[in-house]
Structure 1
Amino acid sequence: MAQKAVQNYIPALTGVRALAAYLVFISHYYYIFDDTFPHIVQRFLGEFHIGVSIFFVLSGFLITFRYYNNFHLTTHWFKQYLKNRVARIYPMYALLTICAFIYYFITKDESITKGYQNPLWLMVMNITFLRGFFYRFWDTGIAQGWSLTVEECFYFSAPIIFLLAKKYGKFYIQPVILTAFAIVMVLIFSRVDWCGFFSNFPFVMLFTFFGRCFEFYVGVQLARIVLNKGFKRTNKVVYTYLGFVLMFLCVMVMAYQPIPKGWSAGVESPAGIIVNNYFLCIAVALFFYGLLTEMTLLRKLLALPFVELLGKSSYIFYLIHLGWMYNLIHRGTDWLNDYVFELYDKWGVDWHSPFEFDKLNLLYAFIILNAIAIVLFKTIEEPLNHYIRKSSFLIRNKPSNPENSSLKIK
């Protein structure tokens, strides 16, 4: 009964991707509200990077849910698995990264290179995801793309995680070993000047898989519970709202932490790292468990067709909301503002421009970015995804692809 139950389609898990992406968006532009909210509210909004933790726990859950009971460490299985992961993640990332460096070559905008003098080599580091291991490079190119290095590390590790969990048990020892490895790497390479490779604890704990692995493992464990017990449960705890409240309680704790020198948020403090990496993900898992097992108003909202579409296109939104695409939109609104005031001068009127207010311009950018994300999803990402899955890339396609079967949780 449990295996049959878990094969239902849950659109809310797609809609929650949009929620996560929008939280990250707010965390990157909270400063626009400096003159509107008290300082602590600004700090609170600045810790909405929790959307990244939502993505990580969700990835751990989904990959485990899809593959845990049918993985085989064979060349054939791994090629099919890798093909599915490449089809889902890589095409849009590679395309938008190349566009980011084309934008740099045209504009010389150093937000892309962070002052590094070899942009071609930097582009290679970005395209191959290697930049995510180097403190000097982690926020170059598409800055927020560092999280994809973390995701890819999990994708490659997942089959080994499953094998060890099934064959040897002791599941909870795995993230302890990975974190210990990260600490040892920092102790070694903090003394070596190699472009910041594993060079400091805040970087490694917040921006690499070895520091963030516990979030994925929490998602893995949630999937193991659901695979074992299904969606039905007997207790009446409303996990959806309990998890939701606890998530933002973690945000508040991080908002009250002192910001370390050279960093930008409370999450980078020692207490912030602990809350973000080890407590927040448990709250996220409770939230997900509620979405899976309860019919709440929030689940219905996240399952609305339009919200589901926003969730499907949220990966592209996440990749373009910060960086070259946003910069182009920002320059466009500045140009429109100047043009409007030129018209007002000609007309001899003293009116407000619809583009002179930063908060309105941020709203315009949010809407435009979502529209662009939906168009790119429908015209490029989704067709390429299907094409690669059906192609002979890595392995000839077979109808038994686990992600195209009756299991449709997203």
Structure 2
Amino acid sequence: MKDDKEILALTGLRFVAAFYVFVFHIHIRWPVTDAKFLGNILGQGAIGMSLFFILSGFVLAYRYADGKTPLRAYLINRFSRIYPIYAAAALVTLPWIGISMGDGSAAEMGKAITQGFLLVIANIFLVQAWFPQFFDYWNNGGSWSISVEAFCYVLLPFLLPTLTRLPPKRLLLVAIACYALATLPGLVGFIFPDAPRGVYYSMPIYRLPEFVIGVCCYLAFRNGWGEKFKPIHQVAFLVTTTTYLGFFGPSIPNYVGHNWIAVPFIAFMIFTLSNGKGILASSLSGSFLVWLGKISYSFYSFQALVIMFLISYHDQILVRLPALANNKLFLLFALFILVLISAIGYYLIEEPARRRIKNAYATRSTAVLQTAPL
């Protein structure tokens, strides 16, 4: 059943973000093109994560800015939306948890058990992104973003009422301040390149400004600020940004170093696509892309499983399917497998679990109301 509030172009855009991240992960391991310009663009696919966070802020503000959803119902909605697939993706990637038993001595075994315990606890409570040391273990190289989202979800009910009440000029100042905060980690990472991997990239506090920018974008959109923009502006900004990445993508080693152009580009695209006008909005609203957008959370969550499997069994796969030595065909093969797994995950885990959790909450709430004294 279609959600009456759904903005179809943004649903399609959600898959574009997940696909960009996936192609990036394939390309950095098995390059799919020798063309320097295109390779530079694909090599910056981590920008897709900024798209996720800004888009998430926009969509959640769109759904909850009216203030009619009780806090408990909001949290249940968010939990039912992300946790079932998140847990499933964690379970199926356990063979790649990455903990070494060392020489098998009691000391090494104790260390491995402690590491495993900390990883499991951090993942259960969605706090793994706060510890950059965890980034290369298990599927944390992908699930860190869910940890970031959980942090933003918890803060939204406290941020949104304040942002909603702001007059337009102050809302603009908040957005500008968040833009500055979103670009600062990239600047610092460029000047001090020896920072531990993942500090600026995956820690929730550094990603929060992107989420808040998404919220501000929706509030500006609701106020009619987007009416003066035309579809041609989308095309111009898209060409400018991709040209920049094509020529200068590798010049900044820190992925968030491109936020100075990526963040306003993403915010503008979301802002202008939301009115459904123009060829880009129409393309993203197509039924197939919208379907892919619906399974995109499963697509993103299970890509770690597919990529780690392909890394572990790459040589064996090529022995059985030598045509996949062509990395372009290998990408298509990996994409097909991932879409298939994602569709299965969406229809058999994500949607049924979401409905059951929400129905259980609704049933319990009804029971409480019925037994409450008058």
* TM-score > 0.5, shorter chain as reference: yes
* CA 1:247–1:56: 2 relative to 1, 3 Å: farther
Provide the C-alpha distance between the structure 2 equivalents of 1:55 and 1:83, rounded to a whole number of angstroms.
21
Does the CA-based 8 Å contact 2:32-2:331 persist in structure 1? no
- Deviation (angstroms), 1:212: 1.8
Q: 1:267 aligns with which of 250, 255, 260?
A: 255
Deviates more, 1:51-60 or 1:287-296: 287-296
Q: C-alpha offsets along residues 320-368 of structure 1, whole Å, 9 cap, x if unaligned? A: 223x33333555664354346xxxxxxxxxxxx3344343222211111
Aligned to 2:359: 390
Does the CA-based 8 Å contact 2:175-2:213 persist in structure 1? no
1:287 paired with 2:274, answer no
Provide the C-alpha distance between the structure 2 equivalents of 1:129 and 1:175, rounded to a whole number of angstroms.
29
Provide the C-alpha distance between the structure 1 equivalents of 2:50 and 2:352, rounded to a whole number of angstroms.
28
Aligned to 1:219: 214
Aligned to 1:240: 234
Q: Which runs of 5+ in 2 are unaligned?
A: 102-110, 185-193, 368-374
Does the CA-based 8 Å contact 1:147-1:207 persist in structure 2? yes
1:149-188 aligned at under 5 Å gives the runs 149-166=147-164, 170-171=170-171, 172-173=173-174, 176=177
- Deviation (angstroms), 1:306: 1.6
Aligned to 2:59: 62
Q: Indicate the SS of the match to 2:361.
A: coil
Instruction: Give the partner amino acid of 2:365.
Output: R
- Deviation (angstroms), 1:102: 4.6
1:88 paired with 2:70, answer no
Provide the C-alpha distance between the structure 2 equivalents of 1:152 and 1:35, rounded to a whole number of angstroms.
33
Aligned to 1:134: 131
- Deviation (angstroms), 1:173: 4.8
Aligned to 2:105: none
Instruction: Give the partner amino acid of 2:207.
Output: R
Provide the C-alpha distance between the structure 2 equivalents of 1:242 and 1:208, rounded to a whole number of angstroms.
32
Q: Which runs of 5+ in 1 are unaligned?
A: 1-6, 109-115, 184-198, 260-265, 341-352, 399-410
Does the CA-based 8 Å contact 1:48-1:251 persist in structure 2? no
Aligned to 1:302: 284
* CA 1:71–1:206: 2 relative to 1, 3 Å: farther
RMSD of aligned Cα (Å): 3.6
Instruction: Give the partner amino acid of 1:156.
Output: V
* CA 1:132–1:328: 2 relative to 1, 3 Å: same
Q: C-alpha offsets along residues 9-40 of structure 1, whole Å, 9 cap, x if unaligned? A: 43121111110011101211223565841455
- Deviation (angstroms), 1:318: 0.9
Aligned to 1:338: 319
Deviates more, 1:200-209 or 1:167-176: 167-176
- Deviation (angstroms), 1:379: 1.3
Q: 2:294 aligns with which of 312, 319, 343?
A: 312
Does the CA-based 8 Å contact 1:239-1:286 persist in structure 2? no
Q: Indicate the SS of the match to 2:28.
A: helix
Aligned to 1:187: none
Does the CA-based 8 Å contact 1:91-1:384 persist in structure 2? yes
> What fraction of aligned residue pairs are identical, expressed as a percent?
25
**Structure 1 consecutive aligned stretches of length 4 or more whose deviation exceeds 6 Å:** 105-108, 177-180
1:376 paired with 2:357, answer no
Q: C-alpha offsets along residues 70-122 of structure 1, whole Å, 9 cap, x if unaligned? A: 257xxxx21111000001111110121122225549999xxxxxxx8322331
Does the CA-based 8 Å contact 2:53-2:210 persist in structure 1? yes
Aligned residues: 342
- Deviation (angstroms), 1:237: 5.6
Does the CA-based 8 Å contact 2:98-2:138 persist in structure 1? no
